[in-house]
Amino acid sequence: MSEYLDPRGLSRRELLKRGTALGATFIVGAGFLAHANDAWAVESKALSPETMAAIIQVARDTYPHDKLADKYYAIAVKGHDDKAAEDAAHKTLMEDGVATLNSMAVATGASSYLAMGWEIDRVALLKQIEDSPFFQAIRGGLVVSLYNQKEVWPIFGYEGESFSKGGYLERGFDDITWL
């Protein structure tokens, strides 16, 4: 995760000291979002750290994989912060989308989208906005930005390239035994 660490060169410990807790999962501060328990942090250049935290949760709720840590979702949506830094309309799309989700959450009695305890309740909100440009931008991007991370492939059992290892002729192309 070093490529996503704070560019000011602060250590994660220092970042955590400067931040405040956002729910149980995240620590947010000026221009960064850090995981409370996992050893990573991500810079937020254009979007507020709170918005980034909500988008990471939206990403997980869209393609929930209990075996994937939050950092893979954080990497997968980082492009939206990059794009927001160059494209004011995209920044508005993301900030407004999260604001909408938060107001929908408030209407259900929760304090924010992130504060909703159950996936099924958050998904019910996403379902209401699934045709919106905001949700489609996040969902559509994830198809590649999540599943095309080489780091997640082994978690799904996928082995990636095989040419350098000589293919599978001697490495189990027909090793099935349970049939």
Partner 1 sequence: MSAPYKTDDNSVVVVIGTGAGGGTLANELAQKGISVVALEAGGRHLPDDYINDEWPSFGQLAWLDARTTSGDWRVSRDFSGLPAWIVKAVGGSTVHWAGASLRFQEHEFRVRTEYGDLPGANLLDWPITLEEMEPWYDKAEYKMGTTRTNGIPGLPGNNNFKVMKAGADKLGYKDCHTGRMSINSQPRDGRGACQQAGFCFQGCKFGAKWSTAYTEIPAGEATGKLEVREHAHVLTIEHDNNGKVSGVVYADKDGNQHRQAARAVCVAGNSIESPRLLLNSASSMFPDGLANSSGQVGRNYMRHMTGSVYAIFEQPVSMWRGTTMAGIITDESRNDPSRGFVGGYEMETLSLGLPFMAAFLNPGAWGREFSSAMDGYENMAGMWLVGEDMPQESNAITLHPDTKDQFGLPVPNVNFSDHPNDIAMRNHAYQQGQAVYDAAGAIRTMPTPPYPSTHNMGTNRMSAKARDGVVNKHGQAHDISNLFVSDGSQFTTGASENPTLTIVSLAIRQADYIASQMTAGKL
Interface residues with partner 1 (CB under 8 A)? Answer: 62-65, 67, 123, 130, 139, 143-144, 146-148, 152-153, 156-163, 166-169, 171-176, 178-179
Q: Which residue, 13 or 163, has its beta carbon nearer to partner 1?
A: 163
Q: Which residue, 34 or 152, has its beta carbon nearer to partner 1?
A: 152
Q: How far is the CB of 7 from partner 1 (least distance, A)?
A: 28
Q: How far is the CB of 77 from partner 1 (least distance, A)?
A: 14
One DSSP character per residue, 116-147 reads: ---HHHHHHHHHHTTTSHHHHHHHHHHHHHTT
Phi, psi (deg, nearest 5) at residue 79: -60, -30
Q: Which residue, 34 or 59, has its beta carbon nearer to partner 1?
A: 59
CA–CA gap between residue 166 and residue 38 (Å, rounded): 37
Q: How far is the CB of 168 from partner 1 (least distance, A)?
A: 4
Do 81 and 47 touch, CB atoms closer than 8 A?
Answer: yes
**Can you give the C-alpha Rg of the chain in angstroms?**
19
Q: How far is the CB of 148 from partner 1 (least distance, A)?
A: 5
CA–CA gap between residue 134 and residue 98 (Å, rounded): 9
Q: Which residue, 99 or 124, has its beta carbon nearer to partner 1?
A: 124
Q: How far is the CB of 29 from partner 1 (least distance, A)?
A: 31
One DSSP character per residue, 154-165 reads: HHHT-----GGG
Q: Which residue, 36 or 129, has its beta carbon nearer to partner 1?
A: 129
Structure tokens at 113: 């989208």
Q: How far is the CB of 25 from partner 1 (least distance, A)?
A: 19
Residue with tokens 């002729």: 169
Structure tokens at 163: 């040419």
